[in-house]
């Protein structure tokens, strides 16, 4: 009944059972995003009397986020958990929550995405044949590298820093004086180890679980981005569901968010501890000059009135917190 039979011949893809949705994630099986979608699958199983469930393919085994997004768009995958960054070039409404320094804190990010702002962004995916179901936390991203601590933008000059495939990230890193190198997430460890790049930027759990910290021994706490994760469903799969099942899917996704946040907060703490215990040098950063340098980047990427409206509302909401 679901997208069964869309047979793409994906390597490693098990035969699709009726009622068992497929989902892709770039992270390993114990990562909070994977665990959250599996939890959602268990909710669906309970609520549908065993009729519906989700099989998550973790560890980028079905491809990097750009590839799996494309597969999801034409129905070869039912669900996809990705970051908003690879969607920046697809949907302009993903730009505001991806802007450097737009969120003051995790609470600010959660408040924005739990309300109307989040709903409007999720809605914007429909025109791309994707159903936006919910946002998950991705914490704050920091720069890390193999060379030395970053205290000021000057310290970034000439560093080759990996960014996800997003023009916004590229512009951000280049504006700070480093050389941005777009690259899929699963290639970063090797590129760091081989010296192809000097560093990257990510949250504590990704820095830890992808083992980047084993090579990049300096992390500078710039907290420059809190770009969230998103759970998307293929519209092809969605359209095959009854209205009642669509509602059940939406609700199960929503109900997985508080669970994810608990897992997330615990994972941030444990990843941070593992990294610091391994001797990685972490330094605090006065982010004022970094944020200043992002003004032209905001102007360049906030193009439409809708984008500017969302960005303004996010900033305003931050002032009330």
Closest CA to 87 of 74, 102, 73, 106: 73
Query: Does position 83 bind ligand GTR by CB under 6 A?
Result: yes
Q: Which two tokens stand for residue 251?
A: 């609700």
Spatial distance between the Cα atoms of 90 and 98, rounded to a whole number of angstroms = 13
Residue 208 lies near ligand GTR (rule: CB under 6 A): no
Pairing mode, strands 20-24 and 79-83: parallel
Instruction: Tell which residue, 241, 37, 233, has the closest CA to residue 128.
Output: 233
| CB nearer to ligand GTR: pick between 138 and 220 | 138
- Alpha-carbon distance values, 32 to 112, 139, 201, 264 (Å): 21, 12, 19, 6
Give 27 or 235: the residue with its C-beta nearer to ligand GTR. Answer: 27
Q: Which of 6, 22, 23, 26 binds ligand GTR (CB under 6 A)?
A: 26
Q: Is 145 in the site for ligand GTR (CB under 6 A)?
A: no
C-alpha to C-alpha distance for 98 and 289, rounded to whole angstroms: 19
Under rule CB under 6 A, residue 166 binds ligand GTR? no
Choosing from 71, 85, 130, 285, the residue that interacts with ligand GTR (CB under 6 A) is 85
Choices 38-46, 80-88, 149-157, 215-223 (CB under 6 A): range interacting with ligand GTR: 80-88
List the structure tokens of 237.
Answer: 């799969």
Minimum CB distance to ligand GTR smaller for 124 or for 203: 203
Binding segment for ligand GTR (CB under 6 A), chosen from 66-74, 79-87, 258-266, 280-288, is: 79-87
Residue 161 interacts with ligand GTR (CB under 6 A)? no
Name the one residue in this structure whose structure tokens are 């804190």: 105
76, 118, 164, 199: which one binds ligand GTR (CB under 6 A): 164
Burial 295-317 (b: 16+ CB within 10 A, else e): eebbeebbeeeebeebbebbbeb
The answer to whether the CB of 131 falls within 8 A of the CB of 125 is yes
Report the alpha-carbon distance of residue 221 to residue 280 in Å, rounded.
12
Among the listed residues 23, 82, 98, 237, the single contact to ligand GTR using CB under 6 A: 82
Phi, psi of 229 (to 5 degrees): -90, 160
In the region spanning residues 178 to 207, those forming contacts with ligand GTR, defined by CB under 6 A, are: 185, 202-203, 206
> Does residue 229 belong to the site contacting ligand GTR (CB under 6 A)?
yes
The dihedral through the CA atoms of 31, 35, 38, 40 has a sign that is negative
Q: Is 65 in the site for ligand GTR (CB under 6 A)?
A: yes
Handedness of CA 191, 197, 201, 204 (dihedral sign): positive
In whole angstroms, how close is the CB of 42 to ligand GTR at the nearest point? 22
Q: Are 153 and 175 in contact (CB under 8 A)?
A: no
Stretch that binds ligand GTR, among 2-10, 39-47, 77-85, 233-241 (CB under 6 A): 77-85
Residue 23 is a binding residue for ligand GTR (CB under 6 A): no
Least separation, in Å, of the C-beta of 39 and ligand GTR?
17
Q: Is residue 138 a contact point for ligand GTR (CB under 6 A)?
A: yes
Query: Contact residues for ligand GTR (CB under 6 A)?
Result: 26, 65, 82-83, 85, 138, 164, 185, 202-203, 206, 229
């Amino acid at each position: 009944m679901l997208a069964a039979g869309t047979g793409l011949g994906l390597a490693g893809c098990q035969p699709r059972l009726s009622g068992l949705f497929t989902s892709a994630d770039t992270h390993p099986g114990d990562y909070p995003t994977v665990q959250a979608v599996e939890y959602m699958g268990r909710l669906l199983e309970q609520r549908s009397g065993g009729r519906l469930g989700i099989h998550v393919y973790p560890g980028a085994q079905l491809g990097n986020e750009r590839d799996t997004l494309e597969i999801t768009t034409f129905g070869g995958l039912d669900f996809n958990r990705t970051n908003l960054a690879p969607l920046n070039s697809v949907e302009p409404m993903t730009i505001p929550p991806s802007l450097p320094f737009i969120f003051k804190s995790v609470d600010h990010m959660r408040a924005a995405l739990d309300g109307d702002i989040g709903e409007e962004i999720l809605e914007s995916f429909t025109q791309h044949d994707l159903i936006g179901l919910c946002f998950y936390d991705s914490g704050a991203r920091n720069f890390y590298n193999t060379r030395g601590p970053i205290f000021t933008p000057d310290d970034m000059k000439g560093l080759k820093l990996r960014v996800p495939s997003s023009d916004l990230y590229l512009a951000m890193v280049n504006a700070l004086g480093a050389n941005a190198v777009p690259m899929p997430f699963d290639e970063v460890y090797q590129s760091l180890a081989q010296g192809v790049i000097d560093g990257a930027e990510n949250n504590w759990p990704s820095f830890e679980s992808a083992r980047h910290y084993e090579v990049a021994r300096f992390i500078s706490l710039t907290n420059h981005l809190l770009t969230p994760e998103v759970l998307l469903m293929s519209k092809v799969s969605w359209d095959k569901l009854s209205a009642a099942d669509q509602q059940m899917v939406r609700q199960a996704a929503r109900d997985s968010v508080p669970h994810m946040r608990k897992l997330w907060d615990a994972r941030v703490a444990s990843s941070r501890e593992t990294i610091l215990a391994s001797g990685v040098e972490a330094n605090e950063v006065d982010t004022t000059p970094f944020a200043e340098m992002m003004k032209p980047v905001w102007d360049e990427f906030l193009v439409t009135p809708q984008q500017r409206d969302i960005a303004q509302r996010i900033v305003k909401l931050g002032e009330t917190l």
